[in-house]
């Protein structure tokens, strides 16, 4: 038992060091495989000997704890907001006022104003104690369970840290991770999130910490509060916090700067007003603080904010244009999305013609009407959105806007379930757009990838009454297709050959192709590999489903609802009768030679197609990633590979191999 405790302590210490090096110092000491192996060993030991498990164990990073309600916590030090300014004149006035009040040579610290969620984290004896949101400035919510999943936040400190202190900063959603989340939601026909900041806030308030863990939030920490802290200025204390293991803004990245005059402050503002577009996260301005704590204390506070600090907010690029008409899109799952059709206008280097209005609540909140002049921004630099209406320009004959009550495609009465933001058309077996949308998803490249079939052809076949669901594709004949306009003999034969070839597509892709809500390609792989056959998935109850890695309540409920519909089961039985793969094939060539290794595939190859190469990697236990990161072990490079990937691989010292090298790797 003593040996078990010793091993738990060793593993905890090692994994904490690997986490710190990778997420704070951008330095990979071990491979993903080695890290995961050690983490699994620690999890197993902690389950067997829970009395030896640390409350701040690295196993807490993966999430999974469920919080019923967030505890309210009173801040030991009030969490005040900064006063905002929108002009350089106000910054000049601030600096002049500071000089008059202190009669001293003043140093200032300039920092980025991260567009995220303010957080205060308390450490006692070098260990993570609790994390609390700003709330109303006097009290906030204890979100410790979710914050522990953020890998750049240390659970145990290093060096000569104070015995009891609080560090504050900003939790944010990296743009790459936010875009990946929205891409997944788009593929699953879910409403897209509007911007990273609100999504970060919602993620921190999630009751299931596994959601926070999988989304990949990040954090910069820079404000230290406590007793008996010997360093007398903000800039040096931030640097010291870096020695304790915190991810801090550093001089070399230009995220923080010390200056002694107004010119230095204005230079910092001008630099980041341009360069903010190149950051991997969002900022909405910069913050200027008096550096000396003695001077901060002399200057004091107003009721709402410190007198020794001010924020300068960048002007968000905004344009006005006419909202000509609101139309509605019907997704393949029946979700209704209102779309503002605009008079074309330039915004952020692109022409904007449409903006999502998201749902009925957003329209009501904006009080928007057709014919209004509206102000448009790019939410999160990604999705154009209407942020307000120019009431002064509203036409005299303007009429209040009424959200539709019936499906714009089939006329069915729309429904809105409790807790859902969107209205839905529930006529899934009779709504033409839903029917064609599901079949178009079925034939798409990431699903069945059927040659000779495109989205327009699907619409034509539906209009001709030849198809109503994917199973109908396998009963099409040459004689049915050849009379259709623009259907030549060669194109008909290609289409039928493509449909026939799709019978060999593996089970996990067939499962994804069915278009079950929330079941993207990654989830489909997880389900296929866990259950092996469609029958096992169909017969699984809620508890059995949520035991599968990455399968949460929503996915489990969606699966149960899908297989509870008679028409869906009947379609699957028809597909099975036509020879589709509904069972995971036993691959006799499968090995674990590449287990724990992450590959990126780029370019054109001689012996493999890219999909075949990716499948070979997975068949041999490896993982395929779409982008190069510090976790990538190999870049398999073919002809015509993009120069950006090559440059990034070289920068991160990722091993670059050819197709021949890969074949040698798998023997």
Known catalytic residues are 113
Which stretch of DSSP H or E encloses residue 89? Answer: helix 88-102
**Cβ–Cβ under 8 Å, residues 356 and 367:** no
Tokens of 458: 């699907």
d(CA 586, CA 522): 19
Q: How far apart are CA 172 and CA 181, in angstroms?
A: 14
How many angstroms from the chain centroid is the CA of residue 167? 26
Torsion, Cα 39 41 43 49, to 10 degrees, reads -140
335: enclosing H helix or E strand: none
- CA dihedral angle for residue 226, residue 231, residue 235, residue 236, rounded to 10 degrees: -130
H helix or E strand, kind and range, residue 347: strand 336-347
The count of C-alpha atoms lying within 13 angstroms of the C-alpha of 136, restricted to the half-sphere facing its C-beta, is 5
Neighbours of 563 (CB within 10 A): 17
- State whether residue 656 is helix, strand or coil: strand
Q: How many CA atoms lie within 13 A of 376 on its CB side?
A: 28
Taking a C-beta distance cutoff of 8 angstroms, is the pair 638, 604 a contact? Answer: yes
Could you tell me the two tokens for 231? 């360093």
Checking DSSP bridges between strand 373-379 and strand 108-114, what pairing results, if any? unpaired
DSSP secondary-structure letter at 607? S
Q: How far is residue 118's CA from residue 201's CA, in Å, rounded to a whole number?
A: 9
Interhelix angle 432-443/455-463, rounded to 10 degrees, is 140
The SS3 of residue 666 is coil
DSSP, residue by residue, 402-464: ---SB-TTT-PBEE--TT-SS-EE--TTT-HHHHHHHHHHHHSTTTT--TT--HHHHHHHHHT
Report DSSP letters for 244-285, one per residue: TT-----GGGTSEEEESSHHHHHHHHHHHHHHGGGSSS-EEE
- Residue pair 123/164 in contact (Cβ under 8 Å)? The answer is yes
> In whole angstroms, what is the distance from residue 342 CA to residue 352 CA?
8
- Residues in a beta bridge with 161: none
Distance CA 146, CA 215 (A): 11
DSSP 468: S
Contact in structure between 209 and 146 (CB atoms under 8 Å):
yes
For every residue of 309-330, which 3-state class applies, written as one string? EEEEECCCCEEEEEEEEEEEEE
Largest separation between any pair of C-alpha atoms in the chain: 94
Q: Which phi and psi angles does 252 have, rounded to 5°? A: -65, -25
Residue 233, classed as helix, strand or coil, is strand
DSSP-derived secondary structure letter, 58? G
């Amino acid at each position: 038992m003593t040996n078990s405790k010793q091993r738990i302590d060793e593993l905890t210490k090692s994994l904490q060091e690997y986490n710190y090096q990778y997420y704070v110092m951008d330095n990979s000491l071990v491979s993903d495989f080695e890290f995961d192996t050690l983490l699994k060993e620690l999890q197993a030991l902690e389950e067997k000997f829970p009395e030896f498990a640390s409350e701040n164990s690295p196993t807490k990073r993966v999430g999974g704890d469920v919080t019923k309600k967030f505890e309210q916590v009173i801040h030991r030090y009030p969490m005040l907001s900064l006063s905002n300014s929108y002009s350089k004149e106000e910054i000049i006035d601030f600096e002049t006022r500071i000089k008059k009040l202190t009669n001293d040579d003043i140093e200032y610290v300039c920092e980025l104003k991260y567009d995220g969620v303010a957080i205060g984290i308390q450490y006692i004896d070098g260990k993570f104690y609790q994390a609390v949101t700003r709330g109303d400035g006097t009290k906030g919510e204890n979100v410790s369970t979710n914050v522990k999943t953020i890998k750049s936040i240390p659970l145990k400190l290093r060096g000569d840290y104070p015995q009891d202190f609080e560090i504050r900063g900003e939790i944010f959603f990296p743009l790459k991770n936010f875009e990946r989340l929205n891409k997944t939601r788009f593929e699953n026909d879910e409403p897209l999130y509007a911007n990273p900041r609100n999504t970060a806030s919602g993620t921190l308030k999630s009751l299931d910490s596994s959601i926070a863990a999988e989304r990949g939030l990040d954090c910069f920490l820079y404000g230290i509060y406590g007793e008996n802290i010997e360093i007398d200025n903000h800039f040096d204390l931030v640097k010291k916090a870096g020695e304790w293991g915190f991810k801090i803004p550093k001089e070399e990245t230009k995220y923080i700067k010390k200056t002694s005059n107004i010119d230095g402050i204005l230079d910092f503002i001008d630099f980041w007003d341009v360069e903010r577009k190149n950051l991997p996260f969002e900022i909405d301005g910069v913050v200027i603080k008096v550096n000396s704590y003695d001077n901060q204390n002399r200057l004091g506070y107003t009721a709402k904010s410190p007198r020794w600090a001010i924020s300068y907010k960048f002007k968000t690029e905004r344009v006005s244009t006419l909202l000509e008409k609101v139309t509605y899109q019907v997704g393949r799952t029946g979700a209704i999305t209102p779309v503002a059709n605009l008079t074309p206008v330039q915004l952020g280097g692109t022409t904007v013609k449409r903006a999502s209005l998201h749902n009925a609540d957003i329209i009501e909140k904006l009080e928007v009407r057709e014919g209004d002049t509206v102000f448009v921004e790019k939410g999160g630099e990604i999705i154009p959105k209407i942020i307000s209406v120019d009431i002064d320009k509203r036409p005299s004959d303007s009429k209040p806007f009424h959200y539709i009550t019936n499906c714009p495609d089939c006329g069915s009465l729309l429904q809105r379930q409790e807790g859902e933001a969107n209205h839905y058309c529930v006529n899934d077996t009779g709504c033409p757009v839903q029917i064609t949308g599901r079949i178009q998803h079925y034939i798409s490249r990431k699903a069945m990838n059927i040659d000779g079939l495109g989205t327009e052809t699907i619409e034509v076949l539906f209009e001709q009454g030849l198809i109503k669901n994917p199973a109908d594709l396998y009963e099409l004949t040459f004689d049915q297709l050849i009379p259709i306009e623009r259907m030549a003999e060669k194109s008909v034969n290609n289409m039928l050959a493509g449909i026939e070839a799709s019978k060999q597509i593996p089970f996990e892709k067939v499962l994804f192709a069915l278009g079950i809500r929330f079941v993207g390609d990654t989830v489909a792989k997880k389900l296929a590999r866990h259950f092996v056959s469609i029958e096992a998935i169909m017969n699984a109850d809620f508890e059995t489903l949520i035991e599968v890695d990455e399968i949460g309540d929503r996915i489990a409920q969606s699966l149960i609802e899908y297989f509870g519909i008679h028409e869906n089961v009947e379609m699957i039985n028809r597909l099975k009768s036509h020879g589709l793969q509904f069972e995971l094939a036993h691959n006799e060539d499968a090995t674990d030679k590449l287990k724990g290794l992450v590959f990126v595939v780029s370019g054109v190859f001689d012996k493999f197609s890219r999909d075949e190469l990716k499948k070979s990697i997975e068949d041999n236990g490896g993982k395929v990633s779409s982008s190069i990161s510090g976790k990538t072990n190999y870049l398999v490079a073919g002809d015509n590979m993009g120069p950006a990937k090559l440059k990034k691989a070289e920068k991160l010292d990722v091993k670059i191999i050819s197709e021949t090298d890969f074949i040698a790797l798998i023997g």
